[in-house]
Structure 1
């Protein structure tokens, strides 16, 4: 391994950690007026298109199944999500958004659009699209690493 490769890996990781914090701060800022947290928004957003299992949500979000389960339980208690039977797996229920959950997400959209437009204006829409593509490629490359012991 070359020293430059090591420096790039470290720099990429530190930048990603900083970005994670920045995105979480932005998400909390956007979600708070709608009465939800960034984590609630993330889980609800994962099931807006169709109900998903807790494991599928966790894989998509890159967090533990247990963390998603705790959040889904809170969302169900608050009436923002509900559990449906899963035809593919008897014990693994599907998490589905309720009309109340959909309304909470809709309440976020105007401010979300504002901040998206502001970011695109600051960075340039094409450059922002290139950054997203590079981040996806980096994520795919990390998925391909052999992390077995």
Structure 2
């Protein structure tokens, strides 16, 4: 059986007819220059006022789509709790798990007011259960 020549960097890879597989991609046998994908150059776009307005409107609509969760929360909990939630979340939450975490914090705050003598572990467990039951 004839032995195949191996590439120097990955001894387990055989030599390819088109070139050698290296860490940087396939090395061409002809030029020994690694083939790389060229990144498209970023174009700096000068906005026309009309185009900017359209873009901003689109972004607002997109933002609304993303904020459906917020609207849902607002409808579900009413304004008072929602404002408390907003106060709790000084930063804008990026995902659902963070929102749920803040809701659990609100719930804990609420439950400690109702049952001040109860153990904190029990309250936390109850709060998590209550938020889970909302099925957000």
TM-score band, normalised by shorter chain: under 0.3
TM-score (norm 1): 0.25
Structure with bigger helix share is: 1
Question: Normalising by structure 2, what TM-score?
Answer: 0.27
Structure with greater contact order relative to length (CA < 8 Å, sep ≥ 6): 1
